[in-house]
Structure 1
Amino acid sequence: MENLHYRFEGGHSRGSRQGLLVGVVSSGNLEVLIEAASLNGACEIAVQTAARGFGTIWQAVMQDFHARWQLADIRISINDMGATPAVVSLRMDQAVESMLGAQA
């Protein structure tokens, strides 16, 4: 397993208090846990992946995600079993959309 950590500054707080889990860890898939956290306005993402050596691809996917959502005071945990970058982006977007929908 490989553990990757990312921290992004300069986001916007969405005021969520609820943690949400989307996806299922199985062959070729992943789960995403998103939760509010006191991070001084940052968004932290921790990835545990079975696919070693793809750090630059993960970095690009995480940067793209942050550019889209610009979250603050959010912690995201990802457990990956070899999902493609498109599936990673889809699950992360699904988690944020579910979190924001839960606030309505």
Structure 2
Amino acid sequence: MQTFEFDFPGDRPATQRAHVGVVASADLEVLVEPSDGDSASVRIRTSVDGFDDVWRNVLERFFTRYGLTGSIEINDFGATPGVVSIRLLQALDQSTHDQTPESRA
């Protein structure tokens, strides 16, 4: 079991809590909580060791593009980078109800 913590700057605050996904084989859950500030504080707990660079790359790509801010917790059980991206987009949609991901594309 590994735990990572990252901070990313952003300009799109989470306005409400979000919970997407489940911790199950090849899946993960993302929990978002609004917080003060202009950054995302991300904590990842994963059952798969040795993917530090993959996590960093997927998260940098997401937060650079969408700028979500808040407190974000990810609990992983072997999800692929594609599943991680989908869950993050779902959490973005739920936590910023007045904004859509397409508006920043």
TM-score grouping bracket, smaller chain normalisation: 0.7 to 0.9
Count the aligned residue pairs.
99
Q: Which amino acid aligns with 1:22?
A: V
Task: For residue 68 of structure 1, give the secondary structure of its aligned residue in structure 2.
Answer: helix
Say if 2:66 is the partner of 1:35.
no
State the TM-score, normalizing by the size of structure 1: 0.88
> Taking every aligned residue pair, what percent have the same amino acid on both sides?
36
Say if 2:49 is the partner of 1:55.
no
Runs of 4 or more consecutive aligned structure 1 residues displaced over 6 Å after TM superposition: none
Deviations, residues 46-71 of structure 1 (Å, cap 9, x unaligned): 00000001000000001011112112
Report the counterpart of residue 45 of structure 1 in structure 2: 42
Alpha-carbon distance in 1 for matches of 2:30, 2:38: 20
Please list every run of 5 or more consecutive structure 1 residues that lacks an aligned counterpart in the other structure: none
Please list every run of 5 or more consecutive structure 2 residues that lacks an aligned counterpart in the other structure: 100-105
State the TM-score, normalizing by the size of structure 2: 0.87
Q: Which amino acid aligns with 2:50?
A: G
Q: CA RMSD in A?
A: 1.5
Instruction: Specify whether residues 100 and 15 from structure 1 end up closer, same or farther in structure 2 by C-alpha distance, changes over 3 A only.
Output: closer
